[in-house]
Amino acid sequence: MVNLIVVNNPKDWTFEIPGVECVSAKAYLTEDCYSRMRMARVFNFCKSYRYQSIGYYVSLLAAARGHKPLPSITTIQDLKSQTQMRFVDEDLDELIQKSLATIQSESFTLSIYFGKNLAKKYDRLALQLYNLYPAPLLRATFVKSKEEWHLRDIDPVSTGEIPVDHHDFLIEVATEHFAGKGVGTIKRKAQPYDLAILWNPQEAEGPSNEKAIKKFVSAAESLGFNTEIIGRDDFGSIAEFDALFIRETTSVNHHTYRFARRAKAEGLVVVDDPESILKCSNKVYLAELLDHYNIPTPKTCILHKDNPDSVLDEIGVPCVLKQPDSAFSQGVIRVDTKEQFETESDRLLSKSDLVVVQEYTPTEFDWRVGVFDGKPLFVCKYFMARNHWQIIKRDTEGNKREGGFETLPVELAPRQVVRTALKAAALIGDGLYGVDIKQIGKACYVMEVNDNPNVDYGIEDLVYKNALYERIMEVFLKKIINKNGAGFYY
């Protein structure tokens, strides 16, 4: 892939960096050789990114040409919106306080060059800010108020504003970046499309095990993808890809959701998309959605502080209480008496203003139907853990025991189960979902629709083997081609 540095005037570019071509913004915007160029990374060092300025158009047209601009138009807009400063998340705020704790002055300025700072002790903070605002050169200003540091603003800077004593450091980190050794850099082969798989090998109950991830990579590369496994620190490199596949457990208050939102804003094909994460991660939303569209579920009520008696009368005991963001059988409680109901409902309502209450519907197993792009992928039976009412049984020390499973060909699964799953998944979107269903006689009841369903080697792939991973990657490819409005680009 060609690396282009775009500047207002190449004569003013005094940094010798191997492996890159320096061109004027005018040439990049007007000459045919650049408009026809494919698979280029464009590093926009123009003096200004002001709306409709030449620097603004460099990033805008780079995106239109299928190039990978840094900064992207999304980042440029974010940098303009100083209201973004109000929404520093807890992790970043904690890092700010820790990094700046020894500074005695009331203000502090941090220079960020390709995600790094001259002082190693600020590298982590520089990387986090670069991940939020991926731009080659940034300057962040912090102020202290009531013994706490706050991010006042963060702005792009031109090379002319860089102190002379920083020049050698800039050349060093820029060289590392273009050589694929710096933060947010990805080494790739010459393939038509770039796919990022967000995966955390340390996650104990992630949606795909290591062997499954390797299968995904192999299937993707067989279809012409450069495939990279990325982690939470690679947020700043998202714009360099064509697609993002999230294989970590998702949550709204989590970096996975931020990755999904950034990828969607940058025009990537993303699974899970942020809308699916929002919808599937809240049981209250799902309960209302399924009820509105007459999808069969166990008898369900929404509990709040003013209706516990009427809910108890309606549902009765035993029943199941679900905190809205419950997952992996956690935050789901069965109560067998009125006293238990009162105790557990008070506890859950202290965390959320609304709680889902469902009638207890015991079965030997739950159906799980995997759905992608509106079509069934796999069907599994997940059996209840021994002497337990859920698939996973946990003890007080955090140990767990799981029930068995049985994987079936889609065509051999009950038609009503598959049909019900497809109807429920369609209410969420055309992403990758796992629909959990209880079957009692011929009746099928949707328990929930999960984004980011498990696709594990040796379980969900037991019937279709490699073909399962290939089908998932084929959907990515189709979505990218449809988005581009044409076939492969070279």
Nearest partner of 438 among 447, 448, 451, judged by Cα: 447
Pick the CATH number of 2-77 from 3.40.50, 1.20.120, 2.40.30, 3.40.250: 3.40.250
pLDDT level of residue 84 (50, 70, 90 thresholds): low
Parallel, antiparallel, or unpaired for β 243-246 and 21-24?
unpaired
Q: Which of 24-38, 145-159, 311-325, 359-373 has the highest mean pLDDT?
A: 359-373
What is the domain partition of the chain in residue ranges?
2-77, 81-178, 299-360
- pLDDT value of residue 204: 86
Condensed to tens digits (0 to 9), the pLDDT of residues 273-291 reads 999 999 998 888 999 999 9
Residue scoring higher pLDDT (379 or 392): 379
Nearest partner of 194 among 229, 225, 217, 223, judged by Cα: 225
**Tokens, residue 310:** 């009427």
pLDDT level of residue 327 (50, 70, 90 thresholds): low
Q: How far is CA 113 from CA 13, 116, 168, 180, in A?
A: 16, 5, 11, 15
Is the confidence at residue 488, as pLDDT, over 70? no
pLDDT level of residue 328 (50, 70, 90 thresholds): low
The rounded distance, in Å, linking the Cα atoms of 234 and 444 is: 42
- pLDDT value of residue 186: 47
The per-residue DSSP string of 405-462 comes to: EEEE-GGGS-HHHHHHHHHHHHTT-SSEEEEEEEEETTEEEEEEEEES----TTTTTT
Give helix 308-315 / helix 338-349 axis angle, nearest 10°. 130
Condensed to tens digits (0 to 9), the pLDDT of residues 13-57 reads 888 888 889 999 999 999 999 988 877 889 999 999 988 899 999
Is the confidence at residue 240, as pLDDT, over 90? no
| Peptide linkage before 163 cis (omega within 30 of 0) | no
Residue scoring higher pLDDT (193 or 394): 193
Class of the CATH-defined domain 81-178: alpha beta
- pLDDT value of residue 253: 82
- pLDDT value of residue 13: 86
Class of the CATH-defined domain 299-360: alpha beta
- pLDDT value of residue 438: 97
**What pTM was estimated for this model as a whole?**
0.74
Condensed to tens digits (0 to 9), the pLDDT of residues 426-460 reads 999 999 999 999 999 989 999 999 999 999 999 99
Nearest partner of 70 among 161, 182, 150, judged by Cα: 182
pLDDT level of residue 100 (50, 70, 90 thresholds): very high
210 CB-near residues (< 8 Å, 6+ apart): 201, 457
- pLDDT value of residue 80: 79
The per-residue DSSP string of 127-152 comes to: HHHHHHS--SEEEEEEEEETTEEEEE
- Name all contacts of 233-236 with Cβ < 8 Å and 24+ positions apart: 233/127, 233/131, 233/183, 234/131, 234/184, 234/196, 235/131, 235/132, 235/134, 235/259, 235/262, 236/115, 236/127, 236/130, 236/131, 236/134, 236/183, 236/184
- pLDDT value of residue 29: 94
